[in-house]
Structure 1
Amino acid sequence: MFSLLPRFFIFALSTLISLTALADESSNFTITGFGTIGVVHNSTRDADIIRDLSQNTGTGRTRQNDTNMDSNLGLQAEAHLNDVVDAAVQVVSRYGPNEYKPEVTWAYAKYSPSDTVQLRLGRLGFDVYLLADSRNIGYSYIWVRPPIDFFGNLIVSYFDGFDTVINRDLGQGQIRLKVFSGLAREKIYNGISNQFFSLNGSKLTGGHVEYQQGNWTFRIGHSQLRFANENPVNNLITPVLNNPTFQLFYPGASQLSQKVLMQDKNAHYTSLGIVYDKGPLQAQLMLSRINSGSLFFPGSDAAYLSASYRIKNWTPYVTYSGVRPSGDRANIQISPQLPPEVQEFLQALSTGLNDQLSKQNTITAGVRYDLSENVSVKVQLDHIRSQGSFLIRNDLPNWNGRATLLSLAVNFIF
């Protein structure tokens, strides 16, 4: 079934675009869009700060003043086919690996036989966390960008498959159950120039339970991603570790080789979210844990706490976020009695694996101003302290791990 989806996307997109001229003539067909024009200044030239793992360069060393980090443009077409069937396609252009490249982020048909049940089939957003499936739509949230320490580790933003949602009244609130399954299609930068780790064909399954009562929303979820492909960097590492001569000098090489492999390993995402929203006040607390069977995608615990208060058109906000390593770590013992070539290889491998660790925290303060119902302007200051390189690019050896970002963004919908 999933092998047919790419052709479905092309057909659906071309069909919806060809119907654009009819949008004004039919209330059953609508076209909307969104975008962000953003600029970021980094106080340091010793490292690049990135928005997420798809970006191989960022703001700082490559460009101290950068417009690529947050800027994007999206177009969405929706068709109401009948009382129970709807369809939608969304295309987004944003800066990812090396360039701006339009990609289909949503393309699905939705079947809603009742007010309490819906089934969708096609390309769907991966909402493993609250806000995760709308993080490209800057107008929909208060910050310039969702907290990097929390959302930056996400390597999937959409998948090809299905999801099912069931809503029911429970007590004085409403409970929502969602399950999904499909295949990931994206790629992420693996730390080597012009090399990327492909997620194409990786199976994704999971779900969450959400309960809303009054001003409170609670959500707990779990997802699993099974890597279908091998990280290209392991094509260089594992032949050395599995070499019989190398294993004579380092007996633990075979076990280490199995720990660095990614293909057929599972990454588990567990999350808990609490939102309080009453009048002008909104507060959010999000917690997550990522567990993985590979040292090249190590586990991490992340959290953020954010609060905002709207005063007419102004919404000031503050956020504290952080991420820490968890689970298995590389513990490579390098004996001075080993041959220099073996020591050099093990030291380089140890450094490379430690660079995958996520250890960073950020204090954020900003303000959003709503110019109109369709346009907002945001100014944000982030103070970052980093002791890991997973969310950093091109850092120099003498970097002290600190950076301050000053960001300005104009968000719009149409």
Structure 2
Amino acid sequence: MSSRFSRISLLACFLAHVALAHAAEEEKSYSISGFGTLGVAHSNTRDVDIVRDLTQPYGVGYTRQTDFGLDSNLGLQINYRANENFDTALQFVSHRSSEGYQPQLTWAYGRYLPNDTVQLRAGRLGFDVYMLADSRNVAYSYQWVRPPIDFFGGLIISYFDGADLVISKPVGAGIVRAKFFTGLAREKTSTGNMDDYLSLNGSRLAGGYIEYQSQNWLYRAGYSELKFKNEFPPLQGLLDGFRSPALNALFPYAAGLGNALSMENKRFKYLSAGIAYDDGPLQAQLMVNRLSSESLLFPANRAAYLTLGYRIDHWTPYMTVSAARPENRKIPASLPTGVSPGIDMLVAGFNQSINNQFNHQTTLSLGVRYDLTEKSNLKLQFDQIQADELFLVRNNQPGWNGKARLFSLAFNFIF
């Protein structure tokens, strides 16, 4: 009841701000804007669901071979400028996630700009751990139908409650920016099991990045840490087994194995670097990252993507290659087998839990963007996906060969 009440309260607050915005329209201190995507995706296989990211409990393929919800969304934003040094923003977004399609409050912050060098924000903020991460719901702003799944799909945070500080300085022909942030995550993400979710509520988040932007180039490197507050629900039974007094009487190190597998109070680390180039018709981006954790449940992996696009009048054909790979496929030694069926089951569960988190996927994407107006575009994209592991997919069926082809069409707009 309390969560429903909070959602109703947020919507009431939102409607109140809309009313105030219209009432104050003559003063020009309020502005209302928004964005959206109407998308359809078709998969050539019914043996697996391809998802946009891990926050989606299902995707396209197994659940529906032709799906209108994979990429479709709607966002609305209200900005209020009190004076030249202070402004505020509210943003609501509705899209497929662990919350269904209920509108989520993704931004709600106040910003203080004492001068041209410093910016300080506090409230609910976007998690821009990578280039484009903060705006990945605004499909109008980039050339793909969706950000490369192999790279962005593992992100389970889109916003947090806290504060950030940005410092900008002109250097040479460009600008250097340094950003630092800290706060608490609030979202929940699908575990891949029906009605089973990982709650990030209260998990500590901190990090920052430094970037250099010139006329045509953008260079960026960043590091962030997320400290999980809560346990991974599907893991609880296995952890209880490893921590049982009877088992530890036989194998005193069993509880240590369970603790190493646990996610509670463990750190998850994001390290990334990227380069973007935009000069006339040519656009290019290259990004690499490394994701690691203190838990055996999330083995370290690396991901990268390279995308090239070339504008020709209203058309921008593009190509993207993305991939994710585990750093090490070795599973730590567990308990000895053959002692008892119960212990054998624990060993199998231990090995399977880690195996399920290896990320090995490659995608080749070909597409074209057509700019209809200054505020709308149409995109057509083909994806050839090869998933050698099951980390970034849902509802895989026995006998699936790891291959999927997606055909996607999306109409994107801003207002």
TM-score range, shorter chain: over 0.9
Q: Which amino acid aligns with 1:199?
A: L
Per the alignment, residue 167 of structure 1 pairs with 168
Map of 1:119 onto structure 2: 120
- Match of 1:272? 273
User: Paired residue for 1:106?
Assistant: 107
Q: 1:58 to 1:249 in 2, by over 3 A?
A: farther
Q: Secondary structure at the match of 2:103?
A: strand
Q: 1:401 maps to which residue?
A: 402
Q: CA deviation at 1:51?
A: 0.5
Give the distance between the partners of 1:135 and 1:23, measured in 2 at CA.
Answer: 30
The equivalent of 2:63 in structure 1 is 62
One-letter amino acid of the counterpart of residue 35, structure 1: G
Tell me, yes or no, if structure 1 residue 204 matches structure 2 residue 201: no
* Alignment of structure 1 residues 5-404 onto 2, 5 Å: 13-22=14-23, 24-97=25-98, 99-247=100-248, 252-326=253-327, 330-332=331-333, 337-404=338-405
Offset at 1:15?
A: 4.0
By how many angstroms is 1:301 displaced?
Answer: 0.5
Change (3 A) 1:305 1:23: farther
TM-score by length of 2: 0.94
Give me the whole-angstrom Cα distance separating, in 2, the residues matched to 1:26 and 1:327: 59
1:27 shift after superposition: 1.5
- My pick for the range that moved more, 336-345 or 164-173, is 336-345
The alignment of Structure 1 onto Structure 2 pairs a total of residues equal to 410
What is the deviation of 1:232? 1.6
Per the TM alignment, residue 298 of structure 1 is displaced from its structure 2 partner at its CA by 2.7
Q: Aligned partners of 2:99 and 2:122: how far apart in 1? A: 31
Compare 11-20 and 316-325 and name the one that shifted more. 11-20
Provide the C-alpha distance between the structure 2 equivalents of 1:6 and 1:394, rounded to a whole number of angstroms.
30
What amino acid does structure 1 have at the position aligned with 2:378?
A: V
* Structure 1 residue 334 displacement after superposition: 6.9
The answer to whether the 8 Å contact 1:302/1:324 transfers is: yes
Distance in 2, matches of 1:26 and 1:359, equals 54
Deviations 1:252-278 (A, max 9, x none): 522320111111111111110101110
Aligned with 2:237: secondary structure? Answer: helix
Deviations 1:362-381, CA, capped at 9 Å, x for gaps: 00000000111111100000
Q: 312-321 or 387-396: which moved more?
A: 387-396
1:407: Cα distance to partner? Answer: 0.4
State whether residues 298 and 329 of structure 1, in contact with CA within 8 Å, keep that contact through their aligned partners in structure 2: no
Would the aligned equivalents of 1:53 and 1:188 in 2 still touch at CA under 8 Å?
yes
- Which secondary structure does the structure 1 equivalent of 2:83 belong to? coil
Aligned-partner Cα distance in 1 for 2:225–2:210:
16
Shift of 1:24: 3.6
Aligned counterparts of 1:412 and 1:214: Cα–Cα separation in 2? 26
Letter of the 2:338 counterpart: Q
Question: Is the 1:325–1:359 contact (alpha carbons within 8 Å) kept by the matching residues of 2?
Answer: yes
Distance 1:411 1:183, change over 3 A: same
Q: After the TM superposition, which of the residue ranges 183-192 and 338-347 deviates more from structure 2?
A: 338-347
Gap change, CA 1:178 and 1:10, over 3 Å in 2: farther
Per mean C-alpha deviation after superposition, the further-off stretch among 56-65 and 124-133 is 56-65
Residues 132, 407 of structure 1: alpha-carbon distance in 2 compared, 3 angstrom cutoff: same
Q: What's the CA shift for 1:23?
A: 5.3
Cα deviation code 1:157-207 (max 9, x no counterpart): 100011111110112221011111111000111232211010001111111
TM-aligned CA distance change 1:109 to 1:189, over 3 Å = same
Deviation at 1:98, TM superposition (A): 6.0
SS in 1 for 2:297: coil
How far apart, in 1, do the equivalents of 2:42 and 2:340 lie?
Answer: 46
Question: 1:212 Cα deviation (Å)?
Answer: 1.4
Alpha-carbon distance change, 88 to 274 in structure 1, aligned in 2, over 3 angstroms: same
Distance (Å, rounded) in 1 between the aligned partners of 2:367 and 2:115:
42
8 A Cα contact 2:329 2:358, kept in partner: no
CA contact (8 A) 1:291 1:327 kept: no
Alpha-carbon shift at residue 243 of structure 1 (Å) = 1.7
